[in-house]
Structure 1
Amino acid sequence: MALGILQELEKTGVIRTFTEKDHNSAEYLHAVIEALRIGFADAAWFITDPTVVKVPYKDMISPSYLAERAKLFNPKKASNPLTHGSPAHNQCDTVYLATTDKEGNGCSFINSNFGGFGTCIIPKGCGFTLQNRGAGFSLDEKHPNVYAPGKRPYHTIIPAMITNPDDGTLHTVYGVMGGFMQPQGHVQVLLNMLAFKMNPQAALDAPRFCIGAGMPDAGNVFGTVYLEEGISEDAAKKLRLMEHDVEIVRGFERGLFGRGQVIRCHVEEGRVVYSAGSDPRGDGAAMPV
């Protein structure tokens, strides 16, 4: 949704097309932050078990719906996400890996306990703890994501894969671990590669932002905007002038910006060529086998 909203804002001229010199500028950060906030407002209501509750996925990414949601964007000022509502209402302990083969196939895989040691329950005879993803349920009886037997909760497990629109071939296998940072990291890393022409490693190295932080109880993505050191003080100052609550994060605390892995696939002179990157904020690696 965030990517679709950004596309709509660019198409209607509300924001201009960003170039390489705009990377992590205040104008760019403001647009992406606000698009993500609008997306999260819908996510908080709609992400639930689709086998139990009808979730209008296609409607939510339709051009008409995204155009309506894009109207909530103010290019001059941070909005209050709690007032966003949704027109549609009317109807860290994680491991991620990406792998590809010479035939152009790919696999995006993620596994997580959720918070800390999960439930801290170890099945008899096993060496792992059970996850506590049930923490993602709502206890509001009127909410689509309300706790119920046999129902899957809202969760942040988001392995990602991108295909080329013309023929459906593999473009990128990637993921950015980190609770509610995952979709935010996905958007930023993807834009780094597509809009700013970065290779996979550079796309992961670039400083990121995070709206809301921590897990598992940091579902409030409507508060502080955390900026990673490397984003200019000038950008931070301009965001504050737009009424964003901004904090700069440095050193080892930068782990809250997620840990990503990327494999990019493209065809060069008739051959499939791969390039890969591994996040410097984590302990992964990119390697051919």
Structure 2
Amino acid sequence: MISFDLTDYPYPSSRRVVLGQRGAVATSQPLATLAGMEMLLAGGNAVDAAVAMAIALTVVEPTSNGIGGDAFALVWDGQLHGLNGSGRSPKALTLEQCANLQQIPDRSWLSVTVPGAVSAWQTLWQRWGQLPFEQLFAPAIRYAEAGYPVSPETAIAWKRSESRYLPLQGAEFQPFKSVFFPGDRAPSVGEIWRSPAHAATLQAIAQSGGESFYRGELAAQIVDFAAATGGYLTLADLAHHQADWVEPISTHYRGVTIWEIPPNGQGIAALMALNILEGIDLGGYPRESVDSYHWQIEAMKLAFADAYRYVADPHHMELSHDDLLSQRYAVDRRQLIQPTALSLAQPGLPNGGTVYLTAADPDLMVSFIQSNYEGFGSGILVPETGIALHNRATGFSVEAGHPNQIAPGKRPFHTIIPGFLTQDGQPLGTFGVMGAPMQPQGHVQMVVNLVDYGMNPQAALDAPRWRFLEQNRILLERSVAQSIADGLTERQHLVRRGGFFGRGQMILRQHGVLMAASEPRADGLAIAW
């Protein structure tokens, strides 16, 4: 079993790993983390905590997720289970309606698929929950009714969204703007924001066990607003939705098994990149070296080229995930890496709005991710409900014949991916990094930091990051040494400083001790007891 040095913090800004035995929780927003701890202290388990945190995040970090979003989960209870909570496109949405478009517009009814997050909460609780379902909603309802002070990173994201959402015209966008931009502005840091409509909707979901959202009064409100403002969702679309149990996919990397949700998610891209890196002795290079960065970037670039060509709703894929994860194929791809940067096709998907959270107790470990995709999502909010609808249909391609081509009743290519680690059949723990195409790149960097460089969870999250954009273009965090930036430039990478590098959480188990860590790039908090 690999071991982590809990005293090694190589980066000046490092926090310390939080340690406990009975339970641990971590999210990108402290109030949401406290909601999870509230469930543990009430006698709940890790699933109760995870669902409560997911619900709370729809209120306290609305810039990244909401009631009208999607969710995925990996849960360990002695074996690993995968849950795909993503929704499908409306049956009335067809390629013909998207004719002459280069891509699906991200703020429009065309971008809205069936929201799946509520079904994920419902399904996880039904299988493992110990506390009453309504109890899991109590913190979120409290935050929505009484209000809460907007945290710094959320306020920055909210302010940044003004330029995208305030100019929107049309009846479908007005309820959204009145809820999230009262007075035509974003709330500032520390300003109290409240939404009674969120509280009422969460109460209705709690009391109905989630049924109101898909087959009851809330479903009718969603559909009525769609019909009145040019939307495509119907009662049948909502009623037919369900979260699906799926078999997680994995690869082995230097004795550790990395697990991801299978397509339609992009987690397979992280596994393909790790398969390529398996044949490289990364540990033979210093962590902060041009060689280590170059190999990782080029492996990720090759994995993205395949993911964006082949990954789609699994019922429409030309290749299976077994084909893409073949070790023989990884050898072929590895041989394409040269001393200088390759130039490949553009990934071409937008930055995302996502939250990752994790919870653990002695029996269960939960890796959970939830998103409205591009920021707040579509810019469409169902009046008097607080339900901001996501824009996942922008993950579809409009290219004729592409496996991810938009079609009725189909799941789009999905960016949100929870991660999990095992070794010799035993759980090491959960991890995730938010941020659309940054997510598989973040997963690769977390695994490399843990396995190749022996970092503990907090140091792994704190370490400087890179991000591949397109062709030869990459981003480096400002904390990356200038000598590495210069060396990558010499290798024909087009280097730019700054940008968005994701936000993650992690809980690992070592010798019966839970090690919880939260992302320094967010307002997050990890708690263990």
The CA deviation at 1:59 is 1.4
The residue identity in structure 1 corresponding to 2:445 is Q
Equivalent position of 2:342 in the other structure = 79
The residue identity in structure 2 corresponding to 1:172 is G
What does 1:44-59 align with in structure 2 at a 5 Å threshold? 44-59=308-323
The CA deviation at 1:17 is 4.1
CA contact (8 A) 1:117 1:129 kept: yes
CA contact (8 A) 2:341 2:472 kept: no
Structure 1 segments of 4 or more deviating over 6 A? none
Equivalent position of 1:115 in the other structure = 374
The CA deviation at 1:124 is 4.6
Equivalent position of 1:264 in the other structure = 508
Equivalent position of 2:356 in the other structure = 96
- TM, length-normalised to structure 2: 0.46
CA contact (8 A) 1:122 1:128 kept: yes
Q: Within 2, Cα distance between the matches of 1:63 and 1:116?
A: 37
Kindly indicate whether residue 278 of structure 2 is the aligned counterpart of residue 7 of structure 1. yes
Structure 2 regions of 5+ residues with no counterpart?
1-271, 347-351
- State the SS of the aligned residue for 2:485: helix
Q: Within 2, Cα distance between the matches of 1:172 and 1:59?
A: 27
Q: Within 2, Cα distance between the matches of 1:94 and 1:63?
A: 31
Q: Within 1, Cα distance between the matches of 2:307 and 2:316?
A: 16
Equivalent position of 2:465 in the other structure = 208
Kindly indicate whether residue 403 of structure 2 is the aligned counterpart of residue 144 of structure 1. yes
Equivalent position of 1:88 in the other structure = none
Kindly indicate whether residue 391 of structure 2 is the aligned counterpart of residue 126 of structure 1. no
The CA deviation at 1:62 is 1.2
Kindly indicate whether residue 452 of structure 2 is the aligned counterpart of residue 192 of structure 1. no
CA contact (8 A) 2:399 2:405 kept: yes
The residue identity in structure 1 corresponding to 2:355 is V
- State the SS of the aligned residue for 1:129: strand
Q: Within 2, Cα distance between the matches of 1:188 and 1:129?
A: 32
Q: For the structure 1 residues 121 and 17, does the alpha-carbon distance in structure 2 shift closer, same or farther, using more than 3 Å as the test? A: closer
Kindly indicate whether residue 500 of structure 2 is the aligned counterpart of residue 236 of structure 1. no
- Output the aligned Cα RMSD: 1.6
The CA deviation at 1:123 is 3.0
Q: Within 2, Cα distance between the matches of 1:133 and 1:262?
A: 26
The CA deviation at 1:116 is 2.2
What does 1:246-257 align with in structure 2 at a 5 Å threshold? 246-249=495-498, 253=499, 256-257=500-501
- TM, length-normalised to structure 1: 0.83
What does 1:148-187 align with in structure 2 at a 5 Å threshold? 148-164=407-423, 166-167=424-425, 169-187=426-444
- State the SS of the aligned residue for 2:513: strand
The residue identity in structure 2 corresponding to 1:274 is L
The CA deviation at 1:125 is 4.2
CA contact (8 A) 2:342 2:472 kept: no
The CA deviation at 1:68 is 1.1
The CA deviation at 1:54 is 4.6
CA contact (8 A) 1:48 1:55 kept: no
Q: Within 1, Cα distance between the matches of 2:303 and 2:417?
A: 15
Equivalent position of 2:70 in the other structure = none
CA contact (8 A) 2:353 2:436 kept: no
CA contact (8 A) 1:23 1:196 kept: yes
Q: Within 1, Cα distance between the matches of 2:355 and 2:501?
A: 15
Q: C-alpha offsets along residues 84-138 of structure 1, whole Å, 9 cap, x if unaligned?
A: xxxxxxxx322210111112x2111111111122112223542121110100111
Equivalent position of 1:87 in the other structure = none
Equivalent position of 1:277 in the other structure = 517
Kindly indicate whether residue 280 of structure 2 is the aligned counterpart of residue 18 of structure 1. no
- State the SS of the aligned residue for 1:246: strand
CA contact (8 A) 1:176 1:258 kept: yes
- State the SS of the aligned residue for 1:141: coil
- Structure with the higher fraction of residues in helix conformation: 2
Q: For the structure 1 residues 53 and 2, does the alpha-carbon distance in structure 2 shift closer, same or farther, using more than 3 Å as the test? A: closer
| 1:224 counterpart (465, 473, 478) | 473
The CA deviation at 1:229 is 1.6
Q: For the structure 1 residues 40 and 147, does the alpha-carbon distance in structure 2 shift closer, same or farther, using more than 3 Å as the test? A: same
The CA deviation at 1:142 is 1.7
Q: For the structure 1 residues 134 and 223, does the alpha-carbon distance in structure 2 shift closer, same or farther, using more than 3 Å as the test? A: farther
- State the SS of the aligned residue for 2:291: helix
**Higher RCO (CA-CA < 8 Å; seq separation 6+):** 2
The CA deviation at 1:225 is 0.9
Q: Within 1, Cα distance between the matches of 2:365 and 2:454?
A: 22
CA contact (8 A) 1:77 1:243 kept: yes
The CA deviation at 1:223 is 4.3
Q: Within 1, Cα distance between the matches of 2:316 and 2:447?
A: 32
The residue identity in structure 1 corresponding to 2:525 is A
The CA deviation at 1:82 is 3.2
With 111-120 and 236-245 compared, the bigger mean Cα shift is at 111-120
Q: Within 1, Cα distance between the matches of 2:496 and 2:514?
A: 37
Structure 1 regions of 5+ residues with no counterpart?
11-15, 84-91, 213-220
CA contact (8 A) 2:472 2:492 kept: no
